[in-house]
Amino acid sequence: MKDYTTFLFRCFRLSFQGDWRYYLWMLALTMIALVGLNAYAKQFVQGLATTGMTDQVSWGLYIANFTFLVGVAAAAAMMVIPVYIYRHKELHNLVIYGELLAVVAIVMCLLFIVVDMGRPDRAHHLLLRFNFPISILTWDVIALNGYLLLNLHICGYLIYCAYRRRPPSRAFYIPFVFIAIVWAISIHTVTAFLYAGLGGRPFWNSAVIAPRFLASAFAAGPAIIILTLQIIRRATGYLVSDGAIHTLRSIATIALSINMFLLGSELFTEFYTHSAHVVSAQYLFFGLHGHNALVPWIWTAIALNLGALVILFSPWRQRLPLLNLACVAMVVGIWIEKGMGLIVPAFIPSPLGEIVEYTPTRNEILVCLGILAFGALLYTIFVRITIPVLYGELTIDRAYHTDSASGQDRREHQHSGDHQ
Amino acid sequence: MRLPLIDEHRSDAGCGSGGCGCAGTSGAQPVASRPGMTRRSFLRTTAGATGGLAALAASLSPLRELTGDGFSMQQFLQKHYKEMTESDMNKALDRIRAQVEQRYELRPEIRDIKPLDGVEFVYALNLSRCIGCRKCVHACVAENNQSRDPEMQYIRVIEMPRGTTDIEQGDHHYDRPTVPDESHYYMPVQCHQCANPPCVKVCPVEATWQEADGIVVVDYDWCIGCRYCEAACPYWARRFNFTTPSIPRDKLNLNMSYLSNRPRPKGVMEKCHFCLHRTRQGRMPACLEVCPTGSRKFGNVLDPDSEVREVLRTKRVFVLKEDVGTLPRFFYYFDERDPLRNISVEGAGS
């Protein structure tokens, strides 16, 4: 126990150590997070009237970000599956960064839910009167918190074992890895069912929602991981092989293709049938009765996704700058698709046919940026701690010295460490 | 504004710095520990920590305006409606009474009124008669202590072009010097008190449920404000308090009940409850009482002699969005008695 508190304490101290770029990055993130906290404090006092939401469009940017990040969290499984099921070697040492990303994404999801609640002070009512299994929201509470615990356990256990300089016992984490794979699929499926189960919202009430959620998540998630791994490689000298990146690239390529196919099926069903249920899709893609706030967004998203797909199928897909461009396009495209393309249009027109458009307020956007910055801050700290521990630079009998942490050393040490 | 970026000058863990309180762990350190903290790094650490705390405090400063509206320790510890004993409920009612008195300097009559045995309420609305005057909308607001600024309304009257029942084609914001308009008919929509209510199904904390007399109620002290019910309702019957409701003192209706028209805090859902504080005591809902055309009929469908029962038996009745399977207790009908009832034609067999 004492060893563990020492470990936590050393981690805490380590998170304050770094060069000027690290400080600058952390300072910027801290400031954005505090600005977000300030915006949330205003919302907490005045109520959700500080957001652009209305009784007509009762969910907005918060739930959109929540949905997107559930997908990012689920996508960690896309790194774990090749390693543990197909015994993919090159990804092996990188899995932990995917799992840490899952932890951070879930933390951000929970924060987005908290800021969306009218009465966060009553969150304990979930413990006292849990409408399970009737309400799908209660399923989501279990799925998300369970996934958080699973990944915290896996990452925490592996890192602590490396710190203690003892090999991790397979029985303590391999079963959890396999549970987490299934659980990852479940978190996004349950989140999709949250929307798909509502008969009063024809735009959501479609069986393709869950498969589309998974497909888009398994494109955006690996794309984020590809970008993150390159940043880690550049900033810390940690050896990330191009092979690993290209494995993730092919996963993202397949998932994005499936996503575009599902989008096509959805569009065909909606617009060829052209029943009364098409109104929301009509509003989203072409505008309705002169209201067309979302039209530019959705076409941007489709253009970005198609652009990414073209790059991913082009002969130059192996070139990293081009791949990174495709990843950024994919992440932005899918973020728009989940938010402006999936959450908001289901509310327009309202069930009584009234068209009220939604524009997020400045305060609402600041809260979102604050949470995203906090997530980035958390992830940076996790990576900051993980790398020296896995390299054996910070162990139970050796506190961390900045001097010893050069990228060159790490590249040499890469294969001697027996992490994971 | 400085933030807590503690530069340790590559110093070892276990420095004993005041800012981080690590002294207790230094015993676990190897012997090759650094020299103690320099004066300069101590000042930096302190300045960083102070700056960080100051920035945190500054970002939280809007909380100073928090008035504690809708929050009290007693309410925080209050049980779910269905778990409250009689004395729990009396305490809750006392608290609400005191809160109203403190805020409005008026003493409300507040009770918890239970459903009556053998009663299932049903509403029927005559589309042939409704003239779209919206008197029901405003009577409802006055009766149920809805927020006036911003004004919240439970009833939405839609002006429909003749020749369609597609509400997508209706106008919610018609504004005419006189109603009705010849080329339109009017369709008021409020909570349909569904027998299969999607809003109840989705609530994660059972803050909304269906009572024995069919009324779907909300416990404003239990709702967490997730608005999932609002997304689930096919009739757009639910409303959210995006900010603290504001009601002028002289507009407050002092005849209140726990599950209906007592003042609500911000951040919770509310909706039409068929004026249960009136109807459970033998009166008619406010929207019905005010209707100048007699378009609204309300009563106990289990009573074979009730007016609603007669309407359901003899009029051409329909429910809105029957396809979503919510089984509404709110029916629309047209006035004509069945013109075919006295005609019989031979050869009706297949």
User: Is the pLDDT assigned to residue A223 strictly greater than 70?
Assistant: yes
B87 inside domain: no
The whole-angstrom separation of Cα A74 and Cα B203 is: 25
**B7 contact residues in A (CB cutoff 8 A):** 16, 23
**In this complex, which of A123, A129, A199 lies closest to B234 when CB atoms are compared?**
A199
| Average per-residue pLDDT for chain A | 91
- Please tell me whether residues B47 and B128 are part of one structural domain: no
Which pLDDT belongs to residue A94?
85
In the block, tokens 């005419």 appear at B176
Give the whole-number percent of chain A exceeding pLDDT 90: 76
- Please tell me whether residues B47 and B175 are part of one structural domain: no
Average of per-residue pLDDT across B178-188: 94
pLDDT band at A81 (very low <50, low <70, confident <90, very high): confident
Least confident of A326-335, A373-382, A408-417, B7-16: B7-16
Cis peptide preceding B150, ω within 30 of 0: yes
User: Is the pLDDT assigned to residue B211 strictly greater than 90?
Assistant: yes
Q: How many CA atoms lie within 13 A of A385 on its CB side?
A: 24
B3 inside domain: no
- Please tell me whether residues B290 and B141 are part of one structural domain: yes
B150 inside domain: yes
Which pLDDT belongs to residue A418?
41
Interface subset of A 14-43, CB within 8 angstroms of B:
14, 16-17, 23, 26-27, 30-31, 34-35, 37-38, 41-42
Average of per-residue pLDDT across A368-380: 97
Contact A126, B224 (CB under 8 A): yes
Give pLDDT tens digits for A114-157.
999 999 999 999 999 999 999 999 999 999 999 999 999 999 99
Average of per-residue pLDDT across A262-285: 93
pLDDT band at B23 (very low <50, low <70, confident <90, very high): very low
User: Is the pLDDT assigned to residue A34 strictly greater than 90?
Assistant: yes
Which pLDDT belongs to residue A416?
45
B266 inside domain: yes
| Average per-residue pLDDT for chain B | 87
Which pLDDT belongs to residue B250?
96
pLDDT band at B68 (very low <50, low <70, confident <90, very high): low
Q: Regarding the domain delimited by A2-413, which CATH topology (the fold level of the hierarchy) does it fall under?
A: Formate dehydrogenase/DMSO reductase fold (1.20.1630)
User: Is the pLDDT assigned to residue B22 strictly greater than 60?
Assistant: no
What total of structural domains would you count in chain B?
Answer: 2
Q: Are residues B243 and A123, on separate chains, in Cβ contact within 8 Å? A: no
- Please tell me whether residues B41 and B162 are part of one structural domain: no
Which pLDDT belongs to residue A401?
64
Taking the CA of residue A85 and the nearest CA in chain B, the distance in Å comes to: 36
User: Is the pLDDT assigned to residue A413 strictly greater than 60?
Assistant: no
Which pLDDT belongs to residue A409?
53
Q: Are residues B62 and A41, on separate chains, in Cβ contact within 8 Å? A: yes
How many other C-beta atoms lie within 10 A of the C-beta of residue A164?
A: 16
Q: Are residues B28 and A3, on separate chains, in Cβ contact within 8 Å? A: yes
Taking the CA of residue A116 and the nearest CA in chain B, the distance in Å comes to: 7
B93 inside domain: no
B125 inside domain: yes
Interface subset of B 275-304, CB within 8 angstroms of A:
none
Which is more confidently placed, A101 or B2? A101
Average of per-residue pLDDT across A186-207: 95
- Please tell me whether residues B40 and B166 are part of one structural domain: no
The whole-angstrom separation of Cα B17 and Cα B33 is: 14
User: Is the pLDDT assigned to residue A186 strictly greater than 80?
Assistant: yes
**In this complex, which of B10, B59, B325 lies closest to A37 when CB atoms are compared?**
B59
Q: Are residues B204 and A354, on separate chains, in Cβ contact within 8 Å? A: no
pLDDT band at A260 (very low <50, low <70, confident <90, very high): very high
Which pLDDT belongs to residue B12?
39
Give pLDDT tens digits for A94-119.
889 999 999 999 999 999 999 999 99
pLDDT band at A312 (very low <50, low <70, confident <90, very high): very high
- Please tell me whether residues B126 and B271 are part of one structural domain: yes
User: Is the pLDDT assigned to residue B340 strictly greater than 60?
Assistant: no
Interface subset of B 95-154, CB within 8 angstroms of A:
150
**In this complex, which of A44, A118, A120 lies closest to B63 when CB atoms are compared?**
A44
Which is more confidently placed, A420 or A357? A357
**A403 contact residues in B (CB cutoff 8 A):** 10
Average of per-residue pLDDT across B96-114: 95
Least confident of A281-295, B18-32, B147-161, B269-283: B18-32
Q: Residues with Cβ < 8 Å from A56, sequence gap 6 or more?
A: A347, A348, A350, A354, A356, B236
- A121 in contact with chain B, both atoms CB, cutoff 8 A: yes
User: Is the pLDDT assigned to residue B33 strictly greater than 50?
Assistant: no
Q: Please give the torsion angle defined by the CA atoms of residues A354, A360, A364 and A367, in that order, rounded to the nearest 10 degrees.
A: 130
- Please tell me whether residues B207 and B311 are part of one structural domain: yes
B88 inside domain: no
**B13 contact residues in A (CB cutoff 8 A):** 9-10, 13-14, 399-400
Looking at residue A342, what DSSP letter applies? Answer: I
Chains A, B: CB contacts under 8 A, how many?
223
Q: Which of these, A62, A278, A155, A379, lies nearest to B226 by C-alpha position?
A: A62
Q: Are residues A198 and B168, on separate chains, in Cβ contact within 8 Å? A: no
Nearest chain A residue (CA) to B63:
A41
Please report, as a single letter, which amino acid is at residue B276: L
Which pLDDT belongs to residue B16?
37
Q: Range of B42's domain? A: 16-25+34-55
Residue-by-residue DSSP string for A350-388 = -TTS--------HHHHHHHHHHHHHHHHHHHHHHHHHHH
CATH code at B196? 3.30.70.20
B176 inside domain: yes
Give the whole-number percent of chain B exceeding pLDDT 90: 76
Contact A62, A77 (CB under 8 A): no
Which pLDDT belongs to residue B27?
37
Q: Residues with Cβ < 8 Å from A298, sequence gap 6 or more?
A: A284, A285, A336, A337, A340, A341
pLDDT band at B241 (very low <50, low <70, confident <90, very high): very high
Least confident of B16-20, B114-118, B285-289: B16-20
Average of per-residue pLDDT across B284-301: 97
